[in-house]
């Protein structure tokens, strides 16, 4: 079972939230899980009555703590490509 974590345990959480709001301000971070075996954070996002899950590598989030523009661009690409896919959004 993946361990649910709080936003305070996620490196660079504020940057992730900022990038999500830039894409679509109506998206809310519902839950975050840490997947130890894959070393990623799994963000469950909700918009209206649909849920989307996005996995972000821990190393990427740790690297963002210094506001690295290259890593910020990589984060934006991950979020944008996931959130724009209709198959990511599942009705709950």
Please report the pLDDT score of residue 67 as a whole number. Answer: 85
Domain ranges of the chain: 3-91
Residue matched to tokens 């998206």: 27
First to last CA, the chain: 21
**Has residue 1 got a pLDDT over 70?**
no
What's the mean pLDDT in 8-26? 96
Please report the pLDDT score of residue 2 as a whole number. Answer: 82
DSSP tally for the chain: helices H, then strands E:
3, 5
Per residue in 73-90, pLDDT tens?
999 999 999 999 989 999
Considering the entire predicted model, what is its pTM?
0.91
Q: Exposure string (b/e) for 5-27, b if CB count within 10 Å is 16 or more?
A: eeeeebbbbebbbebbeeeeeeb
């Amino acid at each position: 079972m993946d361990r649910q974590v709080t936003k305070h345990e996620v490196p660079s959480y504020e940057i992730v939230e900022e990038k999500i709001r830039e894409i679509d301000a109506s998206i809310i971070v519902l839950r975050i899980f840490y997947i130890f075996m894959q070393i990623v954070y799994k963000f469950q996002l909700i918009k209206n009555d649909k849920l989307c899950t996005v996995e972000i590598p821990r190393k990427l989030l740790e690297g963002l703590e210094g506001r690295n523009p290259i890593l910020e661009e990589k984060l934006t690409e991950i979020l944008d490509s996931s959130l724009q896919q209709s198959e990511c959004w599942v009705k709950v």
